[in-house]
Amino acid sequence: MKTIISPSILGGSFSNMESTIKELDSSHADYIHFDVMDGDFVPNLTFGPQFISNIRKYSNKVFDVHLMINRVEKFLDEYIKSGSDIITFHLEIDENINSLIEKVREHGVKCGLAIKPKTPWEKIEPYIKSIDQVIIMTVEPGFGGQSFMNDQINKIENISSYIKSHGLNVDIEIDGGINYETGKLCTDAGANILVAGSFLFKQEKLIEATNQLYDFFNS
């Protein structure tokens, strides 16, 4: 099974984002990951739909947009119009999950659900047949550069087993603390998409580092 690499621009420099996006567009990465934070659902603030829309023209990669926000329904139309290819929001929000999934998918955009480390994997069961991907957080959402939480491996295994046993076509994406070692733990457990931020952006050459990570998991 192919492993998709989704570099998170949260690890990059926002002052030179055009250059960063263009570099990633020329790499072997399949996706580009956008961590949208509102300062409410998580204690950090990043960017909004206008930012995504402005840089859409610099890349043909899949824009993998992860909404770590409350009031998803209020802003969803803007993220759909921004050029997002996949929109993932959190299971833990206090909104009508089924209604949000339906709204995303009726616009031809793929939809995912994300779960925090402390959320039991079983909570996603009622929705998993209606979505395209699950994001399993392996750090507490809100900031980049955190250490991988090894106790989430069992959650990956359980969700992977559920997907396989029910014959579903749902991707498992891992977000948080990904490098060669932790990524291997995740793919061995059943994940097929790896979000890498700090690990890639701290390397001297972003394109080379991204290509090497891709080749490691797909050689």
Annotated catalytic, 35? yes
Q: Which of 38, 94, 151, 175 is catalytic?
A: 175
Q: Has 64 been annotated as catalytic?
A: no
Secondary structure in 3-state letters for the chain: CCCEEEEEHHHCCHHHHHHHHHHHHCCCCCEEEEEEEECCCCCCECCCHHHHHHHHHHCCCEEEEEEECCCHHHHHHHHHHCCCCEEEEECCCCCCHHHHHHHHHHCCCEEEEEECCCCCHHHHHHHHHHCCEEEEECCCCCCCCCCCCHHHHHHHHHHHHHHHHCCCCCEEEEECCCCHHHHHHHHHHCCCEEEECHHHHCCCCHHHHHHHHHHHHHC
Catalytic-labelled residue, pool 25, 30, 35, 188: 35
Active site residues: 35, 175
